[in-house]
Structure 1
């Protein structure tokens, strides 16, 4: 049976990617339906000293609002948020964003681990976390935290990842708690995230 995400149980999706991540996200984010009932929060490793332009890149390609997350902003459904360059992105327990300039994690700020760990604390078993291609181990500890708190763990198939280091680290961290799929199958899962009325 094909794995699926239950839109009536799920309350948030977090995604992490590094090297090759923009191309990977081009496969999965446009699959999200216009009536997606949850927020999607994304960390991509980018240079700190220049604008990311990710909202401008993805905005015309998806059916949801796309923006950079901002300090104290509520995490709203039906929106794709990108972490701004140079800041760790955290989700507080009251489900608002906060930004931090604490030290990089795995040489990265924003760090995937910090988003995943704080999102897991805020959403518990109603969170899904997806780890895509990348060249370091950021995200693996965060995935393990999501799994410990009962969330859903999704990993891009390392065999098709542009750089397999990150998905392989995620697999080592969570083992058989992860659902491992190619991008095309991950996109199909996201396409099914619709509000109850339209299903």
Structure 2
């Protein structure tokens, strides 16, 4: 299995967790990384500016109908669901919140599972609800790979526990082990 994309979901404590995962990606990282972090509505998304200074690959806010580019990190904008369409373009939606969240991790993960099937890795990081669990189950059911932050290392372990329960084939790992695991999956 060779990966075509990575999707990441995080909530409470997510900025700190992402600060260990995203800057570790090398300048030649060959696939897109699509990220949903629970952000309160009507708040400016400071994540792009924060991570653009820390990462070695381009970081941007996702735009509707934007084609995915290799080696780019896309953040969901505040108050919009982010989806991946067949053919590898992004879509934004103002549909109702899912799991009390918009953007919702499950919405991204389920659409990406449909678009990429077995060529997708989904990563659930720290968070205080179960968003991402159903989406990670969908990724694994499509033949993709599931990675979950080790609950013992998560600032809030609720999301990692829910994801591991919903997608038992997923691997729990420490944040510093995620980048090497992705590199190994890409090399397959």
TM-score (norm 1): 0.91
Q: Do 2:24 and 2:179's aligned partners in 1 also have CA atoms closer than 8 Å?
A: yes
Write out per-residue CA displacement over residues 116-154 of structure 1, whole angstroms, 9 at most, x where no aligned residue.
Answer: 000000000000000000000000000000000000000
Match of 2:124 in 1: 131
Q: Say what the alpha-carbon RMSD is for the aligned residues.
A: 1.6
CA contact (8 A) 2:3 2:186 kept: no
CA distance in 1, matches of 2:94, 2:127: 22
* CA-CA distance at 1:189 after TM superposition: 2.7
Structure 1 unaligned regions, length at least 5: 1-7
Deviation at 1:50, TM superposition (A): 1.2
| Aligned residue among 137, 142, 158 for 2:135 | 142
How far did residue 31 of structure 1 move? 0.7
- Equivalence map 1:14-29=2 (5 Å): 14-29=7-22
In the alignment of these two chains, the number of paired residues is 188
**Deviation digits for residues 159-184 of structure 1 (CA, Å, limit 9, x no counterpart):** 11000000000011011x11110111
Shift of 1:52: 1.0
Greater relative CO, 1 or 2 (CA 8 Å, sep 6+): 1
Query: Within 5 A, what are the aligned runs for 1:1-150?
Result: 9-150=2-143
Q: Could you tell me which residue of structure 1 aligns to residue 171 of structure 2?
A: 179
TM-score, normalisation: structure 2? 0.96
1:190 CA drift (Å):
4.2
Distance in 1, matches of 2:186 and 2:135, equals: 26
Check conservation: 1:139, 1:166, Cα contact below 8 A.
yes
Residue 53 of structure 2 aligns to a residue whose secondary structure is helix
CA distance in 1, matches of 2:157, 2:24: 23
Secondary structure at the counterpart of residue 151 of structure 2: coil
User: What is the CA–CA distance in structure 2 between the aligned matches of 1:28 and 1:56, rounded to whole Å?
Assistant: 16
Spell out structure 1 runs of 4+ moving beyond 2 A. Answer: 187-196
